[in-house]
């Protein structure tokens, strides 16, 4: 068999300028490199995402397309007047959407461990004219200063892998939930910390939750849990 030599132009996708392809390849390599570094560091040392990156991860069209707030709202089975707690609200991209969905009587208690993130949330609340959010500065693994059974629902997005002992934080979630309340957790593969669905289910089961239903896909899973009776 005689192998034909490839001409240089055969390496590239027809119709796409080679320079664009090189840039895409470089971005992909850099992204993979960041993922490997973050995962390796976080394996030994868990730390919250720095507050300076709060707005970057919430950046508009990309996030709302791949992990739309509507998925979370659907999973939360929102209705007006609900009391909802968000763990690790960050700069509030999802907090605002959920708060709007439960207006006028509903309240979101937005918990984050960093004051810098809560400041960004407050700026977003002002910009969007949303008032039914109460920022709460607390470590989800410690004591969250809210009463037992406060919440009809609790949710968290891309937070559990940043917490050193996720089942311990989920015990707090369980305490905050009403007996018939639901806990919703969402994760996205593009997050360097992305945990598999089975890992989140294992953490939740260790804290006494049962999986009720799942939305999304392998790449962007949304899991809904109820308290074990």
Ligand X SMILES: C[S@@+](CC[C@H](N)C(=O)[O-])C[C@H]1O[C@@H](n2cnc3c(N)ncnc32)[C@H](O)[C@@H]1O
| Exposed/middle/buried for residue 74 (C-beta within 10 Å: 0-12, 13-18, 19+) | middle
- Give residue for tokens 């709302």: 64
Applying CB under 6 A, does 73 fall inside the site for ligand X? no
112 bridge partner residues: 137
| Exposed/middle/buried for residue 99 (C-beta within 10 Å: 0-12, 13-18, 19+) | buried
Q: Whole-number minimum distance, CB 83 to ligand X, in Å? A: 18
Whose Cβ is closer to ligand X: residue 152's or residue 162's? 162
Taking CB under 6 A as the criterion, the residue among 90, 106, 166, 181 binding ligand X is: 90
Question: Stretches 1-9, 127-135, 158-166, 172-180: which one binds ligand X (CB under 6 A)?
Answer: 158-166
Q: Which of 68, 54, 101, 58 is nearest to 82 (CA)?
A: 101
Applying CB under 6 A, does 187 fall inside the site for ligand X? no
Q: Whole-number minimum distance, CB 36 to ligand X, in Å? A: 18
Binding residues with ligand X: total (CB under 6 A): 23
Say if residues 76 and 184 touch (Cβ distance below 8 Å).
yes
Applying CB under 6 A, does 112 fall inside the site for ligand X? yes
Q: Whole-number minimum distance, CB 178 to ligand X, in Å? A: 21
Applying CB under 6 A, does 85 fall inside the site for ligand X? no
Whose Cβ is closer to ligand X: residue 94's or residue 225's? 94
Say if residues 111 and 89 touch (Cβ distance below 8 Å).
yes
Query: What is the enclosing helix (H) or strand (E) of 61?
Result: helix 60-66
Taking CB under 6 A as the criterion, the residue among 162, 173, 187, 204 binding ligand X is: 162
Applying CB under 6 A, does 158 fall inside the site for ligand X? yes
**Half-sphere exposure in the Cβ direction for 174 (13 Å, CA):** 19
Taking CB under 6 A as the criterion, the residue among 75, 111, 130, 151 binding ligand X is: 111
Token pair belonging to 189: 């593969």
| C-alpha span between 57 and 178 (Å, rounded) | 31
Question: Stretches 128-136, 157-165, 176-184, 214-222: which one binds ligand X (CB under 6 A)?
Answer: 157-165
| C-alpha span between 170 and 184 (Å, rounded) | 11
Residues 20-59 that bind ligand X (CB under 6 A): 48-49, 57-58
Q: Which residues bind ligand X (CB under 6 A)?
A: 48-49, 57-58, 87-90, 93-94, 111-114, 117, 139-141, 157-159, 162-163
């Amino acid at each position: 068999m005689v192998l034909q030599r490839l001409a240089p132009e055969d390496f590239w996708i027809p119709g796409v300028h080679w320079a664009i392809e090189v840039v895409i390849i470089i971005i992909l390599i850099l992204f993979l490199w960041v993922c490997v570094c973050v995962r390796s560091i976080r394996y030994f040392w868990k730390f919250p995402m720095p507050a300076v990156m709060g707005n970057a991860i919430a950046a508009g069209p990309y996030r709302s397309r791949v992990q739309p707030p509507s998925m979370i709202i659907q999973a939360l089975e929102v209705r007006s007047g609900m009391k909802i707690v968000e763990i690790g609200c960050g700069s509030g991209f999802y907090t605002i959407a959920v708060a709007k969905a439960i207006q006028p009587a509903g309240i979101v208690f937005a918990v984050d461990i960093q004051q810098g993130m809560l400041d960004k949330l407050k700026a977003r609340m002002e910009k969007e004219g949303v008032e039914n959010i109460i920022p709460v500065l607390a470590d989800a693994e410690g004591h969250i200063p809210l009463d037992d059974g406060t919440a009809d629902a609790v949710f968290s997005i891309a937070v559990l892998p940043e917490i050193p002992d996720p089942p311990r934080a989920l015990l707090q979630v369980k305490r905050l939930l009403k007996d018939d309340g639901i806990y919703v957790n969402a994760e996205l593969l593009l997050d360097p910390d992305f945990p598999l669905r089975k890992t989140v289910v294992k953490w939740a089961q260790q804290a006494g939750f049962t999986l009720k239903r799942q939305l999304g896909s392998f790449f962007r899973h949304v899991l809904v849990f109820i308290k074990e009776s």
